[in-house]
Amino acid sequence: MEPLLTYDSVEVSFNGHAVTHDVSFTLHKGEILGIVGESGSGKSTLLKASMGLLGGGGLVTRGDIWFQNKDLPDLPEPELRKICGAQIGMIFQDAGASLCPIRTIGDQIYESMAAHMEITRVQAKEKALILFDKLQFKNGQRIWESYPFELSGGMNQRAGIAIAMLMEPLVLMADEPTSALDVAVQKQVIEEMLHLRELFGTAIILVTHDIGVVSAMADTVLVLKDGRIMEFGTTQQILCEPQDTYTRKLLAAVPKLRRA
Ligand SMILES: Nc1ncnc2c1ncn2[C@@H]1O[C@H](COP(=O)(O)OP(=O)(O)OP(=O)(O)O)[C@@H](O)[C@H]1O
């Protein structure tokens, strides 16, 4: 199968100092790749590199990130903005907090969709309510009309993920999407992301500290240490037969694996 997204020997530097080194992997349609590693190992940096979100001082200094025959770090800003949000979506640890507090969820959905496609408010609402329904959100109409502060933190996070998915991106970058949530909502969000993968065939890159989430969701796992790949393989291989000493240490630090 043709790869959807390919990182080829990617080095990212901040102010001339390299923080990831020679990172290569491929992601295919519908695949979920988990990226694990201790704090500061470069997980978020790798996601941000493809979205042009490294900020001032951050640059892809070597290698390529290929998406649909385009090298993302080389794209002019306006072209990259067209791809990000539409074909490549992103959700953060606190997707809920990235919602604007003074505009309703419905307004924000409509605006984010209208920025990328020809769509009327009525059509956006119809699409959103269908997806809310598929995700079994209780009372989608109320969510559409609500301001973020009128919903729980968990519901905002779920709405944030749904908003990212309404664009039906080919790839979803999810940076610690469940870590701010309580266990029950965590489970719900994991099930919803798996459901969205089934509905749209979306490939997901999932950055997380939680090996339980990796075990429940990922098909393949990449283990990162100090910006270098230590190990890459199927979830079964990495979690059950880790070859690398660092991976073994990382797994040993987890008391018990949870299956969602
Ligand atoms: N904007 C920045 N300016 C300078 N250095 C940065 C910047 N962002 C990240 N770094 C550095 O890059 C390295 C990788 O950071 P990154 O946030 O990608 O790690 P991480 O694995 O996602 O960590 P965590 O699990 O804590 O989120 C760290 O050494 C960090 O200090």
Q: Which CATH architecture has domain 5-252?
A: 3-Layer(aba) Sandwich (3.40)
Atom of ligand 1 nearest to the CA of 12: 12
Looking from the CA of residue 41, the nearest atom of ligand 1 is 21
Residues with CB under 6 A from ligand 1: 14, 19, 37, 39-45, 55, 57-58
User: Which residue's C-alpha comes closest to atom 4 of ligand 1?
Assistant: 14
CA 218 to centroid of ligand 1, rounded, Å: 23
**pLDDT tens, the chain, 260 aa long:** 789 999 999 999 999 999 999 999 999 999 999 999 999 999 999 999 999 999 989 999 999 999 999 999 999 999 998 898 889 988 877 766 778 889 999 999 999 889 888 999 999 999 999 988 888 888 999 999 999 999 988 888 888 888 888 888 999 999 988 887 778 778 888 888 898 899 889 999 999 988 888 999 999 999 999 999 999 999 999 999 999 999 998 888 775 545 44
Nearest to 108 by CA among 168, 189, 180, 162: 162
- Among protein residues, the one with the nearest Cα to ligand 1's atom 18 is 42
Q: What spacing in Å lies between the alpha carbon of 66 and ligand 1's midpoint? A: 22
Q: Which of 45, 50, 93 maximizes ligand 1 atoms within 8 Å of its Cβ, making it the mutation to test the pocket?
A: 45
- Cα 72 to chain centroid distance, Å, stands at 17
For residue 131, which of 90, 186, 176, 192 has the smallest C-alpha distance? 192
At what angle are helices 121-134 and 153-166 packed, to 10 degrees? 120
**Sequence-separated (6 or more) residues with CB below 8 Å from residue 16:** none
Q: Is the ipTM reported for this complex over the cut 0.95?
A: yes
DSSP string, 9-59: EEEEEETTEEEEEEEEEEE-TT-EEEEE-STTSSHHHHHHHHHT---TTEE
Closest residue (by CA) to atom 9 of ligand 1?
A: 45
Contact between residue 164 and residue 95 where contact means Cβ atoms under 8 Å apart: yes
Which of 137, 187, 179, 180 minimizes the C-alpha distance to 162?
Answer: 137
Compute the distance from residue 115 Cα to the ligand 1 centre, in Å. Answer: 30
Q: For residue 25, how far is its CA from the centre of ligand 1 (angstroms)?
A: 20
Question: Ligand 1, from 14, 223, 225: best to mutate by most atoms within 8 Å of Cβ?
Answer: 14
Residue identified by tokens 């970058």 is 173
Instruction: Tell me the torsion sign for CA atoms 122, 127, 133, 137.
Output: negative
Using CA positions, which residue lies closest to atom 30 of ligand 1?
A: 40
